[in-house]
Amino acid sequence: MSSALSDLQLAQATEHVSSQEFVLDKYIDDLYEKRGSTREKALGALVDAFESFVLLGLVEYKYVTLLSQFTNSIKKGSTTEVCMACRAIGLLAMTLGPGSSSHEIMDESHPQLLRILQTWPDAPKMISALDCLAVVTFVGETDLAETQLSLKAIWDVIHPKSGSNVGIIRKPKPPLLAAAVSAWAFLLTTVGSSRRNTDSWKEPITFLSSLLEAEDRAVRIAAGEALALCFELKLLDVSSSEEADVDSDTRESSGSKNQLFLNMQGLKAKISGLVYNLSMEAGGRGADKKNLNDQRDLFQRISDFIKSGECPEETLRLSGKNGILRVTSWRESVQLNYLRRFLGRGFLKHAQDNDLLHDIFDIKMDRIENMSNTEKKIFRSEEEKGRALKLNKERRLAQERKQNILDEQYG
């Protein structure tokens, strides 16, 4: 009786997986509909599915179709449809993880996302495009040039004067500015400290330091995180190789090296003072105490880091004995905060089941431990099926090799 019940549960669970695929296909079909409300409903359902589950097995052979329809929605959809399509593309890349598929997603979506960022439509579209661009580049990039292209596009939103739209100087409003700074910092985490030239970072770091005096608290917090990362990557330090370059360049005045060093030291002192002031900011009447405390806590940790080099540490227990996510640097902290915000309610599920997050944060998960009895049966059944297929393939290849040898000997 017990065995029969287990088999029935296994059959029902397997049927549920097939049912999921059927529903997924239905929503994909709805993306072809002419009516925008139908496409929006389908996108909303797909985004919900991507957040709730890690659907790698269901989408790895359908991602080209999904990507085509998502980009189509970006081209011709309403603001709501564009925002959901951008989110769906980012979640699709995170589901597939690094590799040729996510690189293709980055390549195909990049032109549409840049078009949004260069035409400056309404803020929700801009913020959705920024998040999507940051995520697909983070997952899909294969070299520094691709990352730099996206960093440049995001920086042109943060500081439009340096952008390509000559004669049109736009000023991003606080929600857009905070989102852009966060996206830029998130991508900056992929740039190693060895890939730097202090002089080229002086302008962006100077501008970020000015944002510490912005009226909007979210902008100050985003700029603070970005600057803490710049300190950790030593982007404000004049390296010995740069000193040698300056010394050997006869066109430079003899004081160039010292001037660069003094400029960066002055910038460090300015940032350090602003950070300390923000860590001690008084609330005042009508102040949002939670956000104020968040700001004080963040800038206190940044101040401690600037003074002593002490990195922030945070530990999240995901499940069981081994499911622990631990961050011990500003790079990891920026990545965690960004991905936690982007994934929203789906963060815990992806932290438990998504190999991409396991690789980023070096999470060691015991997946069997987190499964129900029925899920364990399916998992073990799939493992046995995989082993059987592998053995059959090896036997077939061995037989083919033997046959080839016989053909060579007696053919």
Of the candidates 127, 141, 132, 123, the one whose C-alpha atom is nearest the C-alpha of residue 86 is 132
- The token pair that represents 27 in the structure block: 């929503």
**Is it the case that residue 302 has pLDDT exceeding 80?**
yes
350 vs 343: CA distance, rounded Å: 8
Cβ contact 137:150 at 8 Å:
yes
Residues 152-191 pLDDT 10s: 999 999 999 744 554 566 889 999 999 999 999 999 999 8
Decide if 378 is inside a domain. Answer: no
Decide if 131 is inside a domain. Answer: yes
Residues 200-239 pLDDT 10s: 888 999 999 999 999 999 999 999 999 999 999 999 887 6
- The token pair that represents 261 in the structure block: 């060093």
132 vs 93: CA distance, rounded Å: 9
pLDDT at site 3? 46
CATH of the domain at 138: 1.25.10.10
Decide if 293 is inside a domain. Answer: no
**Is it the case that residue 368 has pLDDT exceeding 50?**
no
Give the count of domains, the chain: 1
Most confident of 163-167, 196-200, 379-383, 386-390: 196-200
Partners of 316 in beta bridges = 325
Domain that holds residue 137: 18-161
Decide if 273 is inside a domain. Answer: no
Chain centre to alpha carbon of residue 344: 13
The one-letter amino acid at 392: N
Decide if 4 is inside a domain. Answer: no
pTM: 0.82
79 vs 149: CA distance, rounded Å: 25
Q: Helix 256-279 vs helix 289-308: angle between axes, to the nearest 10 degrees?
A: 140
Q: Is 328 helix (H, G, I), strand (E, B) or coil?
A: coil
Cβ contact 318:325 at 8 Å:
yes
- The token pair that represents 97 in the structure block: 């993880």
362: left (phi over 0), alpha (psi -120 to 50) or beta: left
